[in-house]
C-alpha cells in the first residue's frame, strides 16, 4: 500500500525511503500505462526537448499555447505546464486562459517560474499565477526564494542560492499557496509545507544540456495526472529522471551524447534500477 504524505511524516527513515521508492515505481508504471496528455505552455527554446522527454517516459505532449485555443485544450488535457522561460505576449495570454480552465476541469497544473525575481515581466506574471492554486511549483533555489519574497532571483536560469537556504521559504510558500514546492539542485527538496523529502539522484551533465529542468516540470505534470497526491508525483518525477540521468552519464561522451542517452534511459529505466539507485535524505 502506498503511504500518504501524512503517513510519511512520522515514518522511520528506512520505511520512508521504501515507501517513496515504491511510490516512484508505481507513478512511472502508471504514466507508461495511461499516457497522460500534457499541455505545455513552455519556453520556446526547449519545446522539442520537453516534447521528446514526455514521449520517452510514456506521456503525450501538446504545445498548445495560442489564446483562443489554450483554454479549450486545458479542459481536454490530463494536466497543464506553465513555464515562464520565454513569456511572449501570446504565451502570457494563453497561460492566463489555460490555468482557470484546467482548474475548472479538475486538472493538475505545474508552475515553473523560470528566472523570476531578476526579470520584472515574468515576476509579475508568476505572482498572479500563484494565486490560482498551482498543484506543484518547481524551480531552482533562487527562483523559489524570489517567488516566496525572500530573494532577488539568480542569474537568469542559473541559481545563485543553495537549496537548503530556500527550504524554509519553500515551506512557507507551500503553506500559503496549497502547492507542493519542489526546489531543484545538486540535492532536491520537495515539500507540501509539512512533509519535506530530499532526493539525491541526478548528474551534473543535466546542467550542460538545454531544457533538463524544463522537461522535469513537464514530467511532473504527467506524474501529477496519475499519482495519488502531488507530493508523491513531484518526488517520483525527481527520482526517476535523476536515475535516468545517472544511467545516461555512464555511457555518454559529453553533453551532446548525454542528451540522447538521457532520452533513451527515460524510456527504459526499470523498477529494479530505481530500487537500487533511489537516494533520499
State pTM to two decimals.
0.94
- Residue 7's pLDDT is what? 67
* pLDDT at residue number 154: 53
pLDDT in tens, 181-231: 999 999 999 999 999 999 999 999 999 999 999 999 999 999 999 999 999
d(CA 248, CA 258): 6
Instruction: Tell me what the mean pLDDT of segment 64-84 comes to.
Output: 98
Q: Is 4 domain-assigned?
A: no
Percent of the chain's residues with pLDDT above 90: 88
Strands 37-41, 60-62: pairing kind:
parallel
Q: What total of structural domains would you count in the chain?
A: 1
Which CATH number belongs to the domain containing residue 172 in this structure?
A: 3.40.1190.20
- Placement of cell 492554486 in the chain: 133
Question: pLDDT at residue 174 above 50?
Answer: yes
Range of weakest confidence among 28-32, 71-75, 142-146:
142-146
Does residue 185 fall inside a structural domain? yes
C-alpha 16/C-alpha 158 separation (Å) is 31
Write the CB contacts of 19 (distance below 8 Å, at least 6 apart in sequence). Answer: 2, 3, 7, 8, 11
Residue 1 has pLDDT above 70, yes or no: no
Which is higher by pLDDT, 179 or 162?
179
Whether residue 12 lies inside any domain: the answer is no
Cα 144 to Cα 153: distance, rounded to the nearest angstrom: 8
Confidence bin at 152 (pLDDT 50/70/90): low
Q: Which domain holds residue 25?
A: 19-277
The CA distances from residue 23 to 28, 44, 83, 213, 229, in Å, are 9, 32, 26, 21, 10
Is 39 inside any structural domain?
A: yes
- The answer to whether residue 5 sits within a structural domain is no
Tell me: the pLDDT tens digits for 10-52? 778 788 999 999 999 999 999 999 999 999 999 999 999 999 9
Please indicate, yes or no, if residue 6 is contained in any of the structural domains: no
More confident residue, 159 or 165: 165
Residue 61 sits at φ, ψ, to 5 deg, of: -90, 150
Distance CA 223, CA 228 (A): 9
Q: Does residue 14 form part of some domain?
A: no
Instruction: Give residue 8's pLDDT band: very low, low, confident or very high (50, 70, 90).
Output: confident
Q: Is residue 13 a part of any domain in this protein?
A: no
What is the model's pLDDT at position 261?
98
CA 260 to chain centre: 20
Q: What DSSP element (H or E) covers 100?
A: helix 89-104
Amino acid at each position: 500500500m502506498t503511504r500518504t504524505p501524512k503517513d510519511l511524516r512520522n515514518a522511520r527513515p528506512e520505511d520512508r525511503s521504501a515507501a517513496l521508492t515504491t511510490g516512484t515505481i508505481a507513478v512511472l508504471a502508471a504514466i507508461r500505462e495511461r499516457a497522460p496528455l500534457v499541455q505545455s505552455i513552455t519556453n520556446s527554446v526547449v519545446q522539442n526537448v520537453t516534447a521528446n522527454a514526455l514521449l520517452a517516459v510514456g506521456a503525450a505532449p501538446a504545445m498548445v499555447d495560442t489564446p483562443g485555443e489554450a483554454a479549450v485544450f486545458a479542459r481536454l488535457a490530463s494536466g497543464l505546464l506553465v513555464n515562464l522561460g520565454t513569456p511572449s505576449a501570446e504565451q502570457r495570454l494563453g497561460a492566463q486562459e489555460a490555468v482557470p480552465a484546467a482548474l475548472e476541469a479538475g486538472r493538475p497544473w505545474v508552475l515553473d517560474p523560470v528566472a523570476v525575481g531578476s526579470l520584472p515581466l515574468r515576476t509579475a506574471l508568476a505572482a498572479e499565477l500563484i494565486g490560482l492554486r498551482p498543484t506543484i511549483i518547481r524551480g531552482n533555489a533562487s527562483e523559489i526564494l524570489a517567488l516566496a519574497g525572500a530573494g532577488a532571483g539568480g542569474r537568469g536560469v542559473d541559481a545563485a542560492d543553495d537549496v537548503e537556504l530556500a527550504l524554509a521559504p519553500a515551506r512557507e510558500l507551500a503553506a500559503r499557496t496549497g502547492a507542493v514546492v519542489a526546489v531543484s539542485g545538486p540535492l532536491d527538496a520537495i515539500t507540501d509545507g509539512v512533509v519535506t523529502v530530499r532526493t539525491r539522484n541526478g548528474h551534473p551533465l543535466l546542467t550542460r544540456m538545454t531544457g533538463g529542468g524544463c522537461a522535469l516540470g513537464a514530467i511532473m505534470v504527467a506524474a501529477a495526472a496519475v499519482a495519488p497526491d502531488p507530493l508523491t508525483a513531484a518526488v517520483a518525477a525527481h527520482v526517476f529522471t535523476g536515475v535516468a540521468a545517472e544511467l545516461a552519464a555512464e555511457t555518454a561522451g559529453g553533453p551532446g551524447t548525454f542528451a540522447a542517452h538521457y532520452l533513451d534511459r527515460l524510456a527504459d529505466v526499470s523498477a529494479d534500477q530505481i530500487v537500487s539507485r533511489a537516494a533520499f535524505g
